Amino acid sequence: MPLQHFLSHILNLLLAGPVTQLLNAIGRPPINPAAPIDGVFTMELLAVILLLGFFVIVRLTLQVEKPGTAQQLAEMLEEFVSNQTEPIIGERYRVYLPFLSVVLLFVLVNNLLGLLPDVDTATASPVVPLGVALLTFMHYHWQGVREHKGGYIKQFLGPLWWIAPLMLPIELISHLARILSLTIRLFANMYASDLLTLISFSLFPIALPVVFLGLHLGVSLIQAYVFMLLASIYVGQAIAHEH
Amino acid sequence: MRTTMQHLFMTLSVLCMAVPAFAQGAGASGNNLVPIAAGLGMALASGLCGLGQGRAVASSTEALARNPGARPGIFLFLVLGLAFIESLALFTFAIIIIKVK
């Protein structure tokens, strides 16, 4: 069943009016005013609802003596993210754990939902990775400012005072390029995997696509992991103290 | 090295002769060269990306064989390095998506 079209249809029935008004108000009128909510946004919302449901279930069934299945899964996840981020960020990694876990889970669930047939992959549209990359960018700068206060600017000025005019533009450009590289890495990987699966279906529709779907699954897992890892490296650099 | 340079310059000199001939043909028919450029660009990008990733994987397996205890650290840097090398090929891919419509 085309679940995505069904969900998009319901969303458009409920919310088409306000969303179109909002888009008109910010000066970007939708292409189709009757259906401003597209498949990508629906899948994104579905991922958010799935994650929220998972966390609500974990919170409600939380207990020390007999941990349930959802709690086991959540603990495994927490352990994985902790193990990956502790060597990068340092001993105070716990503060940054929620954001990094959410980035990992959101990208992972969106990538994996894209494996379903007849569904748009949310991360294969450049908008969604751009949103996550922008959030990451703002988050690590905010953490940097919170850690160093006004001294955060020193990270952009280089080691010597007279080299600062040269270092400042270089650092600014390299920080902005991080948004670009995070976005394009995720977007192009998922887009190319989608395209590859599609091409394999058109070449020989029996058994062969399974191989490419396996590849797609691997790429989905690795890209979510890499996104989380890069976010944690950026946070680690932003809060690092010079010795 | 010397023979390589000789071959290179021989090829270049042949290409000097060949350019007017190609130009006449292309000008007459007005072919669309975008698919050829896209294919060549992607082939170059993914081939060189493969070379780079091969080097990275080779040295990391070597390091792992020498010191199996360092597996977590090596794995971290391997995945990071592979992601960065791969993203160079993907930049080419993104440019091709933008340019080929």
Q: Give pLDDT tens digits for A69-125.
A: 889 999 999 999 999 898 888 888 888 999 999 999 999 999 999 888 778 888 888
Instruction: Say what the ipTM of the complex is.
Output: 0.71
Stretch A198-219: mean pLDDT, rounded?
A: 88
Stretch B55-81: mean pLDDT, rounded?
A: 92
| Residue in chain A nearest B80 by alpha carbon | A226
B19 and B37 together in one domain: no
CA distance A191 to A170: 31
Q: Give pLDDT tens digits for A141-198.
A: 999 999 888 888 888 887 888 888 898 999 999 999 999 999 999 999 999 998 888 8
B56 and B36 together in one domain: yes
Residues of chain B with Cβ-Cβ distance to A191 below 8 Å are: 93, 97
Residues of chain A with Cβ-Cβ distance to B91 below 8 Å are: 184, 188
In a domain, A193, yes or no: yes
Q: How many domains does chain A have?
A: 2
Q: Could you give phi then psi for residue A70, rounded to 5 degrees?
A: -60, -40
Tell me if B90 and A229 make a contact (CB, 8 A cut-off): no
CB A178 within 8 A of CB A189: no
* Strand, coil or helix: B14: helix
Q: Among A87, A188, A226, select the one facing B79 at the smallest CB separation.
A: A226
Give the pLDDT confidence score for residue B27 in this predicted structure.
47
Asked if pLDDT for residue B67 goes beyond 90, the answer is: yes
A123 and A229 together in one domain: yes
Stretch B57-84: mean pLDDT, rounded?
A: 91
B95 and B72 together in one domain: yes
Residue A160 Cα, gap to closest chain B Cα (Å): 29
B88 CB within 8 Å of a chain A CB: no
Could you give the percent of chain A with pLDDT greater than 90? Answer: 43
Residues of chain B with Cβ-Cβ distance to A84 below 8 Å are: 76
Give the pLDDT confidence score for residue A156 in this predicted structure.
85
Q: Give the structural domain span for A12.
A: 1-37
Q: Give the structural domain span for B1.
A: 1-31
Asked if pLDDT for residue B28 goes beyond 70, the answer is: no
Q: Could you give phi then psi for residue A239, rounded to 5 degrees?
A: -100, 5
Tell me if B80 and A87 make a contact (CB, 8 A cut-off): no
Give the CATH number for residue B74: 1.20.20.10
Q: What is the pTM assigned to this prediction?
A: 0.82
